[in-house]
Structure 1
Amino acid sequence: MKKYILASFLFLVFILSGCGDPVQDDLLDYVNEKMPSLGKEETKILEKYEDVTGPNYTDDQTLYDALKVEIIPAYNQYIEDLESVKLETDELRKIHEDYIEAANIQASAFLTIITALENQDSGLINEANEKLNTARKMMRDYQNAVEKLAKEHDVKLEKNKKSEEL
């Protein structure tokens, strides 16, 4: 009897999954399988950046070396990894493309900081900060768009503290 119940249940799940919402399926795969490891990767990179900026800033050379040797190469790889994410639905693909654009703006800001340090140009530092602010806003917009899409397709998202900070 247990085998029959299990077999009936599996058949029912198969039928229901065949009638599913493609955006819902794509979104579930995206938030549960594709993005968690990428989110961890980005967090590690941004923590390295925070280690040499703001209250942790010590000197230009330390910042320059960290950007040149660690942060920029790692962030460029991160962007490549983001670009390799394959999505099935146009709705989610558009949101993900917006996130890639934000990541590219942030990468551009890092490069602008390098140039500013090389030329000792405070105007370029201001430009880099504007790019960082733009990227942060776009990343918040991305999070809001994912949440809206999830709501529209009955996907419940659980937030963790780190994702709310980014």
Structure 2
Amino acid sequence: MRKISFRYFFLLISVCLVGCGSDPVQEDLLNYVNKELKQAGELENIALDAYDSVTGQNYKDDQTMYDVISLTVIPTYRDFIMELEDVKAETEEVRKLHEQYIEAANIQQGAFSLILTALENQSHEKMSEANAKLAEARKMLRDYNKGIEDLAKEHDVELN
């Protein structure tokens, strides 16, 4: 009887040590940031760089802005969202943050579409609505980034 008890005890200790030695959230977060988001991040950068090239100080005229947003920003950003939808997160903590990212991206995509409508109709009201959506998406993205930073600290992951 003691042999059986000792074996079960040893088995339980072994399982606990294996569980204590690995952190599934840490592993998932590392995979998420370093692998899963790589392609999506590249597409997002292309879309946002194109958008930045025709807004703010880089604004030239409405037609140029319309062409870049309709031909580059929106299609690339749509591909970015599709990539985001394919990202797999194994843990609830990473999944929850990822859903925030998807929601913010969809709001931003809607804002880009509203900008086109505003330009087509020369509507200051629609442009204001688009800018409000962009501001909402930026806030959500800041919250997402803060959540990633907090989760990284909590699970001893160094972000570069």
Q: TM-score range by the shorter chain?
A: 0.7 to 0.9
Give SS of 1:95's match.
Answer: helix
Which deviates further from its counterpart, 35-44 or 120-129?
A: 35-44
Matched to 1:31, the amino acid is: V
Deviation at 1:17, TM superposition (A): 8.7
1:66 lines up with 2:84 in the alignment: no
Q: How does 1:1-166 map to 2 (within 5 A)?
A: 19-158=21-160
Hey, what's the Cα distance between the residues in 1 that align with 2:47 and 2:19? 37
- Return the offset for 1:16: 6.0
Secondary structure in structure 2 of the residue aligned to 1:77: helix
Deviation at 1:36, TM superposition (A): 3.1
Please name the residue that 1:3 is paired with: none
Cα distance change of structure 1 residues 144 and 86 upon mapping to structure 2, 3 Å threshold: same
Q: Residues 25 and 94 of structure 2 are in contact (CA less than 8 Å); yes or no, is this contact kept in structure 1? A: yes
CA displacement at 1:19 relative to structure 2: 4.0
Could you tell me which amino acid in structure 2 is paired with residue 103 of structure 1?
Answer: A
For the residues of structure 1 that align with 2:19 and 2:83, how far apart are their CA atoms?
29
Q: Which runs of 5+ in 2 are unaligned?
A: 1-16
**Structure 1, unaligned runs of 5 or more:** 1-14, 159-166
For the pair shown, which has the larger CA radius of gyration, 1 or 2?
2
Partner of 1:5: none
Secondary structure of 2:148 counterpart: helix
**CA-based RMSD:** 1.6
Normalising by structure 1, report the TM-score: 0.82
* Pairs aligned (count): 144
Do the aligned partners of residues 155 and 16 (structure 1) sit closer, same or farther apart at CA in structure 2, a change above 3 Å counting?
Answer: farther
